[in-house]
Amino acid sequence: AQKVTQAQTEISVVEKEDVTLDCVYETRDTTYYLFWYKQPPSGELVFLIRRNSFDEQNEISGRYSWNFQKSTSSFNFTITASQVVDSAVYFCALLKTGANNLFFGTGTRLTVIP
């Protein structure tokens, strides 16, 4: 069975602080994909990143970075120098290879205070 846990329900930071959103997953499969999506207050879901289970390289995209560690089944997301526009709910999701169902965590609501 697949499971994604985002233990941080809500986080508040002051603008320009760094923040890390945690994601822990469970799967018995050896090949799978991990995703992060952003849901701003307007409600749409915005794709941020996809990572397959064979690629443990960390990735950086501007102020965003992702740390994938298979040994701890974690795929954490860090925002550097946070901005008010980063305020959103962030979802981590898991897709088993060969399946159609994205398993979502319950999300972390990030509030960046100006």
Among 7, 47, 56, 111, binds another protein (CB under 8 A): 47
Residue 27 backbone dihedrals phi, psi, to 5 degrees: -160, 150
Among 12, 26, 50, 72, binds another protein (CB under 8 A): 50
Asked if 66 and 59 touch (Cβ cutoff 8 Å), the reply is yes
In this complex, which beta carbon is closest to another protein, that of residue 19 or of residue 93? 93
Among 37, 68, 75, 90, binds another protein (CB under 8 A): 37
Is 112 an interacting residue with respect to another protein (CB under 8 A)?
Answer: no
3-state SS assignment for residue 28:
coil
Separation of alpha carbons 43 and 40, rounded Å = 6
Asked if 79 and 86 touch (Cβ cutoff 8 Å), the reply is yes
In this complex, which beta carbon is closest to another protein, that of residue 38 or of residue 78? 38
In this complex, which beta carbon is closest to another protein, that of residue 19 or of residue 94? 94
3-state SS assignment for residue 107:
coil
Name the site residues for another protein (rule: CB under 8 A). Answer: 4, 33, 35, 37, 42-47, 50, 52, 91, 93, 95, 97-107
